Amino acid sequence: MKKTLLATAATLMATSAMADVNIGNPMAMTGPIPDLNAPIAAAVDLAAANINEQGGMFADGETLNIIRADSACDPTAAVDAVTKLINVNSVTAIVGPVCSGATIAQAESVSIPAEVVTLSVSASSPAITNMEDGTDLVFRAAASDAYQGVALAELAMANGFTDIAVSYANDDYNAAIAEVFVQAYEGMGGTVTANEAHEPNKASYRSEVATIGAGSDNLALFSYYGSGGITLMRNALETGAFANFIGADGMLSDELIEQIGAENLGTSTFTTSASDDSTPSFGAWKAIADAAGVPAADPFVANGYDATFMMALAIEHAGTDDRAAVAESLRAIASGPGEVILPGQWAEAKAILAAGGDINYEGAAGNQDFDENGDVAGNFSKSVIVDGAWAAELIQ
């Protein structure tokens, strides 16, 4: 009896797995930014839940499965995770890697050779723009740091910093945005007094801080908060080497407030990719997110929803969960011409596609129109401490 039950269960599982659409979702569940990652992962799940509630995939209503793996914000872990997703779980496409280093590594060594499309939720390194090498397999739902670095340089100038020291963690994301920042800042007439890499994950950065602190009171810090960023900032404040701090998304976390204390962060400003909350798309997204208890305006959370929703639309558009059709369909559903689809409007989009019509998804995080490199434009915000919490303000 037991055997029969097991066999039946096994058959059921096997058939349901075959009839479902599977998307691989490597996320930075552990590693240096678990707090930033958690709401993004929740947004991915929310998108899948919305899709399955509103009729699922294809005419026969197949379930969309998000198969999650841990890329740990680490190139090696990402390669392992995506290899498993592609070879063992046979996913149709990858929606995922949160960090740039992880995205680049998994694309170069796994997903591009396997001809699987990657749509990153938040990888923003400028290096990703031109890495596809003639293929059309790497997309992202977050804007490149080629823009954010410039926005940050403008912010430094607006804050009146005429000289600045730069310290960046030695990885793909932080090194790339630091380079863009330095170029833009010097182009605007600022003086970079020191520009040094720091090794992530050290117990102490006092010598680093002392070395670069001699020339300026302002520090542009490019690091992940969980792999040295907080320690470096703490050491800089303790030794009094720096008075003012600016930086990008990797540092913008509540963990910073909890560990360093809001009273010590009064002179810090961090930018991040942000959504323009006046658009109807953002309004639609906010309603969905609020109902589900997902923080709508947190960094890259809207991008996570958009990426998942667009990937599902692309597979629906292709009419098959075949890997080869995804890239072309992704371009077709993301930009005009076509009926505008807002976040959450799965049933409407499904009906239009079934009737042979065109759709144009307008995302919560931005219009999500891919350029020829698979990049999107985006908005940025700057966050400062107001009443003991981060308060974001859109910068144009």
Partner 1 sequence: MWDAFGFEFVNFYFIPGLVLGCIYALGAIGITLTFGILRFANFAHGEIMMSGAYLTWTIMAILGAAGLALHPLVALIPASVLVIVLFLATDRFFYKPFRKADTIKVVMASFGMMLIIRSAVQVIWGPNQITFVPGIAKPNPTLQALTGDIGMMILMPNKHIWIFAGTIVLVVALGYLLNRTRIGKAMRAVSDSPDLAHVTGINVDMVIRATWIVGGICATAAGVFLVMDTQMLETTMGFRMLLPMFAAAILGGIGKPYGAVFGGLVIGLAEELSAYPWIGDAPLLSPGYKTGVAFAIMVIMLIVRPQGLFKGRSF
Binding site residues, partner 1, CB under 8 A = 29-31, 34-35, 170, 196-199, 201-211, 213-214, 217, 226, 230-231, 234, 237-239, 241, 255, 258-261, 263-264
Min dist CB 37 to partner 1, Å, is 9
Q: How far is the CB of 217 from partner 1 (least distance, A)?
A: 8
Q: How many beta carbons lie within 10 A of that of residue 146, not counting itself?
A: 19
Q: For residue 156, give Cα distances in angstroms to 132, 141, 267.
A: 33, 26, 12
What is the end-to-end Cα distance of the chain in Å, rounded?
Answer: 67
DSSP 85-119: HHHTS--SEEEE--SHHHHHHHIIIIITTTT--EE
CB nearer partner 1, residue 238 or residue 371: 238
Name the residue nearer to partner 1 (CB basis): 244 or 368.
244
| Closest separation in Å from C-beta 268 to partner 1 | 13
What is the Cα–Cα distance from 110 to 131, expressed in whole angstroms?
13
Q: Are 142 and 274 in contact (CB under 8 A)?
A: no
Q: For residues 127 and 236, which CB has a smaller minimum distance to partner 1 in the complex?
A: 236
Query: To the nearest whole angstrom, how small is the minimum distance from the Cβ of residue 160 to partner 1?
Result: 18
Residue whose entry in the numeric block shows the structure tokens 């947190």: 298
Residues in the chain: 396
> Is the Cβ of residue 23 or residue 73 nearer to partner 1 in the bound state?
73
Given the complex with partner 1, which of 187 and 240 has the nearer CB atom? 240
Give me the torsion for CA of 53, 59, 61, 63, rounded to 10°: -100
Shortest spacing between CB 175 and partner 1, in angstroms: 10
| Min dist. Cβ of residue 181 to partner 1 (A) | 17
Query: Do 326 and 117 form a contact (C-beta atoms < 8 A)?
Result: yes
Q: How many CB atoms lie within 10 A of CB 340?
A: 14
Tokens of 338: 């076509």
> Is the CB of 213 or the CB of 366 nearer to partner 1?
213
Distance CA 161, CA 163 (A): 5
Q: Which residues pair with 384 in a beta bridge?
A: 391
Q: Are strands 379-386 and 359-361 parallel, antiparallel or unpaired?
A: unpaired
Closer to partner 1 by Cβ: residue 56 or 213? 213
Q: How far is the CB of 224 from partner 1 (least distance, A)?
A: 11
